[in-house]
């Protein structure tokens, strides 16, 4: 009896010590603030005593510890600051494959390519009257990518190297000449492959003479782009993307935020080479990229191409002289959710993989302050919905869709 009483007395004393220590820590935290908080370890003598009443950690249910992943959360992200082999789909895809292998040698987990890297951004649409561009537009459509047919080499490179890729392409619908400004998400590793495609919702200005509008069905984030199912990361992180001034569409960005986007792939052309944008383009890109990083609390990889002599020569030989686009341009970087630039920015006429190691655990520390899909969203005041209908779905008949673009199929027929 005396022995049991003594043990109970010791346990009670240990609990009181822990309680006082916890109170001291709380007071210290509140007085110093989160940036200067220093943890005080409880007295070591309490560990042995309390371990008699609390099961060791190895006895706990692992499912209740999901917030503490056992795998490394440090990965390398990279932006390809690169120019295509202009207006050549096959040659540019070969170049992209070489860049994937180069990224693998540097330990990169995910590589982001510029806007319409294949077959190159159609700078000529900014420079010539529409009727003078007809032959060039037809050639551009021919060199555009049919996703199901043209990307086998890229997919194989991703599977072989383990590098995931977000590839900017001018996408052409199979069996037709309708094109989209698209990003193709390709997962690396043995079980890798094409996860999906995002089509730019609203082509900008004269881009509308070559690209159709995407729909809400491709406004998505994809899992399986960072890590593999074998190590547990496949289901843990979401990757999304947008192209160019699509980043000014706040609700498009919010759609990705509501899907808990962790890494954002941003695709850009060389805006600063265009007449009228020399002084402002890079500042615009930087502002939009940092805004999305903080607003979405995600890492941002911004990849831009640049204009080289082959692009200018192609336009001159096939369409004529122009004075609106020059060599150089581009702005590529990797940005932290708190807007720190982790790598870059790289600008101008140079080939470079802009690479940074990031720790995905940082996302949790940022979201303690701001969580745009949680405690900082206020959905009861600011409800958000978007139309996810696949209006460009293969085989869908036009008469099945309402002109308003809100309803489809049988629901449209009944309306």
pLDDT beyond 80 at 236: no
Report the C-alpha gap between 392 and 141 in whole angstroms.
18
Residue 228 pLDDT: 54
pLDDT beyond 60 at 59: no
Contact in structure between 265 and 301 (CB atoms under 8 Å): yes
Looking at 275-319, list the stretches that DSSP marks H as alpha helix, in order from N- to C-terminal side: 281-296, 309-318
Report the C-alpha gap between 297 and 334 in whole angstroms.
14
pLDDT beyond 70 at 32: no
264 bridge partner residues: 240, 300
pLDDT beyond 70 at 49: no
pLDDT interval class at 277 (50, 70, 90): confident
pLDDT beyond 50 at 409: no
Average pLDDT over residues 89-99: 98
pLDDT interval class at 396 (50, 70, 90): low
| Cβ neighbours of residue 50 closer than 8 Å, sequence gap 6 or more | 11, 14, 18
Give me the half-sphere count of Cα atoms (radius 13 Å) on the Cβ side of residue 394. 6
Catalytic residue numbers read: 115
Contact in structure between 137 and 174 (CB atoms under 8 Å): no
Chain mean pLDDT for the chain: 82
111 bridge partner residues: 78, 165
Average pLDDT over residues 93-105: 98
Give the residue extent of every domain in the chain: 2-63, 75-369, 385-415
User: E-strand spans in 82-119?
Assistant: 110-112
The DSSP secondary-structure symbol of 42 reads: P
Q: 317 vs 410, which has greater pLDDT?
A: 317
CA distances from 286 to 103, 334, 339, 342 (A): 24, 11, 10, 13
What percent of the chain has pLDDT above 70?
Answer: 75
pLDDT tens profile 302-337: 999 999 999 999 999 999 999 999 999 999 999 999
Contact in structure between 299 and 77 (CB atoms under 8 Å): yes
Contact in structure between 285 and 304 (CB atoms under 8 Å): yes
pLDDT tens profile 121-142: 999 999 999 999 999 999 999 9
Residue owning tokens 């990003």? 183
* Highest mean pLDDT of the ranges 72-76, 301-305, 358-362, 402-406: 301-305
The CATH homologous superfamily of the domain defined by 75-369: Carbon-nitrogen hydrolase (3.60.110.10)
What long-range pairs does 201-210 form, CB within 8 A, spacing at least 24?
A: 201/246, 201/249, 201/252, 202/246, 202/249, 204/244, 204/245, 206/125, 206/126, 207/122, 207/125, 207/181, 209/125, 209/130, 209/133, 209/137, 210/122, 210/125, 210/137, 210/140, 210/141, 210/170, 210/179
Average pLDDT over residues 204-233: 84
Q: 173 vs 27, which has greater pLDDT?
A: 173
pLDDT interval class at 268 (50, 70, 90): very high
Three-point CA angle 285, 221, 102, nearest 5°: 65
pLDDT interval class at 299 (50, 70, 90): very high
DSSP secondary structure, 312-331, as one string: HHHHHHHT---SSB-SB--E
Residue owning tokens 């997962």? 187
Average pLDDT over residues 400-405: 48
pLDDT interval class at 42 (50, 70, 90): very low
Residue owning tokens 């459509």? 141
pLDDT beyond 70 at 61: no
Conformational region of residue 280, where left means phi above 0, alpha means psi within -120 to 50, and beta covers everything else = alpha
Nearest Cα neighbor of 336 from 310, 299, 365 is 299
CA distances from 20 to 89, 145, 290 (A): 69, 66, 43
pLDDT interval class at 24 (50, 70, 90): very low
Residue 272 pLDDT: 87
pLDDT tens profile 149-161: 999 999 999 999 9
pLDDT interval class at 279 (50, 70, 90): confident
**56-65, 75-84, 183-192: which has the minimum mean pLDDT?**
56-65
* Highest mean pLDDT of the ranges 124-128, 393-397, 411-415: 124-128
CA distances from 235 to 222, 227, 232, 302 (A): 10, 9, 7, 24
Q: 371 vs 111, which has greater pLDDT?
A: 111
Residue 323 pLDDT: 92
Tokens encoding 200: 């730019």
């Amino acid at each position: 009896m005396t022995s049991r009483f003594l043990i109970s007395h010791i346990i009670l004393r240990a609990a009181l010590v822990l309680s006082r220590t916890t109170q001291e820590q709380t007071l210290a935290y509140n007085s110093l603030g989160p940036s200067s908080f220093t943890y005080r370890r409880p007295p070591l003598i309490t560990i042995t005593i309390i371990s008699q009443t609390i099961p060791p950690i190895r006895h706990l249910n692992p499912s209740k510890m999901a917030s503490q992943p056992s795998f490394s959360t440090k990965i390398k992200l990279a932006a390809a600051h690169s120019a295509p082999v202009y207006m050549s789909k096959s040659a540019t895809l070969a170049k992209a494959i070489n860049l994937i292998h180069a990224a693998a040698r540097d330990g990169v987990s995910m590589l982001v390519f510029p806007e319409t890297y294949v077959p190159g951004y159609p700078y000529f649409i900014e420079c010539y009257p529409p009727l003078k561009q007809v032959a060039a537009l037809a050639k551009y459509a021919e060199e555009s990518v049919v996703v199901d047919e043209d990307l086998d080499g890229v997919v194989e490179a991703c599977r072989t190297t383990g590098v995931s890729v977000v590839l900017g392409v001018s996408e052409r619908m199979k069996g037709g000449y309708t094109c989209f400004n698209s990003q193709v998400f390709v997962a690396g590793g043995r079980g890798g492959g094409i996860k999906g495609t995002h089509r730019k919702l609203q082509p900008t200005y004269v881009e509308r003479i070559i690209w159709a509008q995407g729909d809400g069905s491709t406004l998505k984030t994809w899992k399986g782009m960072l890590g593999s199912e074998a190590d547990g990361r496949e289901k843990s992180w979401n990757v999304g993307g947008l192209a160019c001034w699509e980043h000014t569409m706040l609700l498009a960005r919010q759609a990705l935020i509501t899907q808990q986007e962790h890494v954002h792939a941003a695709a850009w052309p060389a805006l600063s080479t265009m007449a009228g944008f020399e002084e402002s383009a890079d500042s615009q890109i930087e502002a939009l990229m940092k805004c999305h990083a903080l607003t979405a609390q995600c890492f941002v990889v911004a990849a831009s191409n640049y204009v080289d002599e082959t692009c200018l020569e192609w336009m001159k030989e096939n369409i004529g002289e122009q004075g609106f686009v020059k060599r150089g341009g581009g702005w590529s970087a990797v940005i932290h959710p708190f807007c720190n630039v982790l790598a870059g920015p790289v600008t101008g006429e140079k080939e470079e993989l802009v690479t940074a190691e990031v720790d995905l655990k940082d996302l949790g520390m940022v979201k303690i302050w701001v969580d745009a899909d949680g405690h900082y969203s206020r959905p009861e005041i600011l409800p958000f919905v978007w139309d996810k209908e696949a209006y460009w779905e293969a085989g869908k008949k036009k008469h099945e869709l309402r002109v308003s673009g809100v309803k489809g199929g049988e629901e449209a027929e009944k309306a």
